[in-house]
């Protein structure tokens, strides 16, 4: 993310649609401090010059107390559901 290499030529993601690149789109990064995989990414995202006009918003949420519960609990979190509903609407 910091180097911007995911969508560069020759990388496996070049054929995938990057939803953050379109004008006016935001990436909402939901993360729980108990989730060993999740991480606040906004500062890292800003370090890539290609992302200077893009928006990434870190949103801390409480999804569970155990590592496994926290990683799978995003779909049961009302804050996550409300934000997704607002974006879709």
Check: CB of residue 32 under 8 Å from CB of residue 63. Answer: yes
Pick 55 or 59 by higher pLDDT: 59
- With pLDDT > 90 as the criterion, what percentage of the chain qualifies? 12
Q: Where are the beta strands (DSSP E) in the chain?
A: 26-31, 55-60
Extract the tokens encoding 7: 């969508």
In which band, very low, low, confident or very high, does the pLDDT at 50 lie, cut at 50, 70 and 90?
A: confident
Mean pLDDT of the region 7-26: 65
The ranges assigned to domains in the chain are 26-88
């Amino acid at each position: 993310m910091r180097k911007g290499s995911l969508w560069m030529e020759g990388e496996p993601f070049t054929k995938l649609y990057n939803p953050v690149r379109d004008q006016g789109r935001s990436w909402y990064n939901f993360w729980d401090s108990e989730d060993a995989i999740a991480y606040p990414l906004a500062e890292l995202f800003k370090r890539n010059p290609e992302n200077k006009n893009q928006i990434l918003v870190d949103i801390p949420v409480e999804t569970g107390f155990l590592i496994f519960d926290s990683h799978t609990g995003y779909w049961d979190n009302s804050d996550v559901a409300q934000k997704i509903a607002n974006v879709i609407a």
